[in-house]
Amino acid sequence: MLREILISMRPKQWYKNLVIFIGIAFSLNLLNINLWISAISAFFIFCLLSGSIYLVNDVLDIEKDKKHPKKRERPLPSGKLKPYQAITAATIFILIALLGSYMINIPFFLISIVFFVLMMLYSLYLKNFIIVDIMIISTGFVIRAVAGALAISVLVSPWLIICAFLIALFLALGKRRHELFLLGDNVKEHRESLESFSTEMLDQMIIITTSTLIMSYSLYTFFTGKLLMMVTIPFAFYGIFRYLFLIHSKKMGGEPEMLFKDKGMVLSIVLWALVVFLVLYVNIGGILNVK
């Protein structure tokens, strides 16, 4: 049973909570060991919260998931895990997570509650509304980023918050497009909001989001006060374009975590992170006499 509960909590999706580390990385505290305790604790707390929400969501969608070509193999729709077992586990994990968030500090505790309530409203009701559903998912990423900053009591650039929202929106639109392609005529049986989407409409939304994301990230690098941050722009652009290529040519948009198995995507992420580290922490700008 414990194994099935863990699978239902979708640990492969927990990479989304890595957004929490934006605060410690971009506030120039990456080498501050004391703050890492709170940052890592915040990460695991949000993993418990998001995992618990996945459990509740699977209980609510059990009948729809039975008709899905892939989701029907999950523990709940397949019958390997009982609904009461999932709800019991979710309740315990939620209480543990909220208690842990309270022990970090009050602001982090409050934003953890906001995240939990918003995601529960999404699972219960809001996911059925077109556009609203993807906006809620993207807002969840923003909350994660803000929560990571509150956990260590630092401020993060508003530009980074905007970029986190746009990246999440970009990924969510790609996933919806893949689902629309995968489910075909059975789309309504899986998710009501998908019925109102079309691939043409989603492609237009992706174009708008991509353009805004590129501009926002470019402006962020300009306003950081470190001119060499602009060197990271090509790596960020390549990652965005590579994702678009994978959506259209490789049909990988339905599983964003699968992108980490694409060599081109992994290489762009690693190079981007390396250049960011060199600019922010090694002060390569000072070495090259560039402000």
Domains of the chain by range and CATH?
Answer: 1-156 (1.10.357.140), 165-291 (no CATH)
> How far apart are the C-alpha atoms of 111 and 105, rounded to whole Å?
10
pLDDT in tens, 71-129: 777 888 877 888 888 899 999 999 999 999 999 999 999 999 999 999 999 888 888 88
Confidence at 284, pLDDT banded by 50, 70, 90:
low
Confidence at 31, pLDDT banded by 50, 70, 90:
confident
> How far apart are the C-alpha atoms of 179 and 196, rounded to whole Å?
13
Confidence at 261, pLDDT banded by 50, 70, 90:
confident
pTM of this structure: 0.83
pLDDT at 2: 83
Asked if pLDDT for residue 260 goes beyond 80, the answer is: no
Residue 45 CA from chain centroid, whole number: 15
Q: Which residues contact 45 (CB under 8 A, 6 or more apart)?
A: 97, 100, 101, 104, 112
pLDDT in tens, 86-96: 899 999 999 99
pLDDT at 218: 92
Provide the Cα torsion 148, 154, 159, 163; round to 10°. Answer: -10
Q: Which residues contact 176 (CB under 8 A, 6 or more apart)?
A: 134, 194, 197, 202
Q: Name the amino acid, one letter, at 201.
A: M
Biggest CA-to-CA distance, the chain: 64
